[in-house]
Amino acid sequence: MNKGISVGLLGLGTVGTGVIQIIQAHQQELQHQVGCPVSIGKVLVKNLQKERDIDIDASLLTDQPDDVVLNPDIDVIIEVMGGVEEAKGHIVKALHNKKHVVTANKDLMALYGAELITVASKNECDLFYEASVAGGIPIIRSLVEGLSSDRITKMMGIVNGTTNYILTKMSKYGSSYADVLKEAQQLGYAESDPTADVEGLDAARKMAILATLGFSMSVALEDVSVRGISSVSDDDLKYASQMGYTMKLIGLAQRDEGRVEISVQPTLLPNEHPLSSVNDEYNAVYVYGEAVGETMFYGPGAGSLPTATAVVSDLVTVMKHMRLGVTGRSALPPLYDKQLKTDEEMESKYFLRLHVEDRAGSFSAITSLFADHLVSFEKLLQLPIKGENDMAEIVMITHKTNKKTYEEISQKLRDLDVVKEVKSSYRVEGGQSK
Ligand code: NAP
Ligand code: HSE
């Protein structure tokens, strides 16, 4: 190892460029920790002719994956190309060729994490993926090392930088959804297809990874109920604010007596909630452990250098393991069987916005429906709708109820004559609770 470590990169985009910058700029610190120089051996790109944001020797670039994954001089592969099947193929090949792997790819890890970790262990190789969740925040390391002695019962996170950037700009400056999404793309926060960001899938992948590690059970992507932010309107944000709440795309993983719920959805948080003040592309993960109590991890959730920091820190861990001769031994099988909560077991408060006929009896028809289901209100507003004299808007936040009851109420509301439209409905976290 004294000859130095050679790293093969798959991808030289936003994250790959940051990885090379950090390896170059922090060479002294890296050498101090691992005892040898760290160099870039080869870099896979799609388009060899593309202009790069980094000064790199053209002879290091290749468009042939095997020049990297089968290269006998390369010790560690860093996969930052994205996508699933192709990236998986390269990683499996690299592992079979006894190369350690670091990846930032949550799409891949959420789908094939368990399989890849098994291949890595069988080949006595390390496979690390810190950058796959919450960019520069070392949340995976915190769960599997820092909090390893505790039993984690709740994780709640803002784990997608793009949507947090969009919601922040819409709420604070009234910016348009489409304009801010474009900005997030230009800043390198969004995925190549931003649908995964705005429809919540990117956050769902991250929550599946966090729940698997935090609860020590095998949580799959299809166990996460997902809703994105594309239907959040300016009016929803305005009313949330009037009622003392902030809208965030929240990933929730909660365990009660061995049964879990995992979701990603736009959620109203009271303004004083610590996650409410996490703005722009920043991410934060709140973790509750039975022994430690409340902890919170905060930092940049996307972008070139923050994400690359997590990647290169994984590389340092791999290099330390190589030096100690303990590679491929970190992964543990899940301890618990997964049991998902039923809809009756999932409790929450809800925000609901309705357009109703403005006539005697409308209001009481609606409130009676809630009363019949033993659901009461934390806040309730009735307001005129501009330009529509015979219509009114009702905005409410309920006290806690279970998901099954809430869905029954929602259906019955739609069937009421006086209700013209259920404009929106969101989960509400925290605040006064009953
Ligand atoms: P990106 O900017 O789109 O870069 C992708 C790179 O991979 C490009 O250099 C591209 O080559 C290369 N590439 C893609 N497909 C290829 C193929 N089939 N063959 C050869 N090369 C290929 O992506 P990114 O934002 O850096 O993201 C990379 C990974 O990190 C993704 O898994 C992403 O989810 C994850 N991640 C990103 C962030 C972030 O803030 N951006 C944060 C955390 C995790 P060309 O340059 O020639 O096109
Ligand atoms: N597109 C992702 C985000 C990148 O916006 O959070 C970081 O995983």
Q: 372: which 2 tokens?
A: 């019949």
Task: Give the CA distances from residue 229 to residues 200, 203, 284, 377, in Å, rounded to whole numbers and listed in that order.
Answer: 7, 11, 18, 25
Closest C-alpha residue for ligand 1 atom 3: 13
The C-alpha atoms of residue 413 and residue 386 are separated, in whole angstroms, by 23
Single-letter amino acid code for the residue at 414: R
pLDDT recorded at residue 202: 96
Model confidence pLDDT, tens digit, residues 335-368:
999 999 999 999 999 999 999 999 888 889 999 9
The second-level CATH assignment, the architecture, of 5-135+304-324 is 3-Layer(aba) Sandwich (3.40)
**What's the confidence (pLDDT) of residue 434?**
45
> Above 80 in pLDDT, residue 30?
yes
If DSSP codes are grouped into helix, strand and coil, which group holds residue 63? coil
By alpha-carbon position, which residue is closest to atom 7 of ligand 2?
302
What distance in Å separates the CA atoms of residue 260 and residue 215, rounded to the nearest whole number? 9
Instruction: Let me know if domain 139-300 sits in CATH 3.40.640.10.
Output: no
Query: Cα(388) to centroid of ligand 1, in Å?
Result: 49
126 or 383, higher pLDDT: 126
- Measured between alpha carbons, how far is 287 from 273 in angstroms, rounded to an integer? 14
Look at residue 226 in the predicted model and tell me its pLDDT.
98
> Taking the domain 343-428, which CATH number applies?
3.30.70.260
Average pLDDT estimate for 37-51: 97
- Please name the residues in contact with 325: beta carbons below 8 A apart, sequence gap of 6 or more: none
In the set 206, 341, 349, 379, the catalytic residue is: 206
How much distance in Å is there from the Cα of 14 to the middle of ligand 1? Answer: 7
Do the domains at 139-300 and 343-428 have one common CATH topology?
A: no
- DSSP letters, 195-219, are HHHHTSHHHHHHHHHHHHHHHTS--
State which ligand 2 atom lies nearest to the alpha carbon of 189: 5
Single-letter amino acid, residue 405? T
Angle between helices 85-96 and 106-122 (to 10 degrees): 20
Is residue 258 within 8 Å of 336, Cβ to Cβ?
Answer: yes
**Please, what is the average pLDDT of the chain?**
95
pLDDT at 1: 56
Name residues contacting ligand 1 (CB within 6 A).
11-16, 44-47, 50, 80-83, 86, 104-106, 131, 135, 188-189, 191-192, 302-303, 307
- Tens digits of residue pLDDT in 58-83: 999 999 999 999 999 999 999 999 99
pLDDT band at 431 (very low <50, low <70, confident <90, very high): low
206 as an active site residue: the answer is: yes
pLDDT tens profile 224-234? 999 999 999 99
Give yes or no for a contact between 164 and 158, defined as CB atoms under 8 angstroms apart. yes
Q: Binning pLDDT at 50, 70 and 90, where does residue 2 land?
A: low
The pLDDT, as a whole number, for residue 65 is: 98
Indicate the pTM of the whole model.
0.95
pLDDT above 80 (res 433): no
pLDDT of residue 333: 87
Q: What DSSP line would sit under 101-157, residue for residue?
A: EEE--HHHHHHHHHHHHHHHHHTT--EE-GGGTTTTS-HHHIIIIITTTS-EEEEEE
Q: What is the mean predicted confidence (pLDDT) over 309-319?
A: 97
Give residue limits of the domains in the chain. 5-135+304-324, 139-300, 343-428
- Report the pLDDT value the prediction gives residue 331, as an integer from 0 to 100: 85
- Whether residue 378 contacts residue 399, with contact meaning beta carbons closer than 8 Å, is answered with yes
Output the six-digit token pair for 333: 């099988």
Identify which of 107, 159, 180, 191 to mutate to test ligand 2's pocket (most ligand atoms within 8 A of the CB). Answer: 191
